[in-house]
Amino acid sequence: GWTSDTRRMRDAETGTEVRSRGGHTVDVDCVAWNPAGTGIVSGSGYDTVRIWDVETGTQLQTLKGHKDEVSAVAWNPAGTRIVSGSRDKTLRIWDAETGTELQSLEGRTGVVLCVAWNTAGTSIDPGPGDKTPHICAPETGTQLKSIE
């Protein structure tokens, strides 16, 4: 697990700390592994998203654009895109290699508490910060379905 502003990677079977690194300057609120198991994305209370190399512990990218705490992150199944959700009620889609923001999805009525891609990578579901999951297209933000 990660505590405070320090990332602590532990062996899942023994609990032994394998690596520890700083990077964020406030608490890390969310993390997700890439599909290949070689990278981690993390979100923090200072509206930043960071991409890390698991093997070396090196920070590869700092993604900036949110105006409030980043509360959710997820990789698409291909490992080429990252979606981040924030207390600023937006979703942002990033190129995982370059760190370029590809899309900003606005208009939610509640904070984004969680987010997930479907297995095909063709839609995302920003968790129910406004009490209703809305499945949307990552390229446009168009709502595809609302689950009541």
Determine the 3-state secondary structure of 17 from DSSP. Answer: strand
* pTM metric for this prediction: 0.80
Question: 4-8, 67-71, 105-109, 124-128 — which is least confidently predicted?
Answer: 4-8
Better-scored residue on pLDDT, 148 or 46: 46
Give the Cα separation of 10 and 33 in Å (integer). Answer: 14
144 has a pLDDT exceeding 80:
no
Q: How do residues 45-96 score in pLDDT, each as one tens digit?
A: 778 999 999 888 889 999 999 999 999 999 999 999 999 999 999 899 999 9
Calculate the CA 43 to chain-centre distance. 6
CA distance 29 to 72: 8
Phi, psi for 15 (deg, rounded to 5): 80, 0
- Answer with the residue of higher pLDDT: 130 or 88: 88
Q: Quick: pLDDT tens for 17-41.
A: 655 555 545 578 899 999 999 999 9
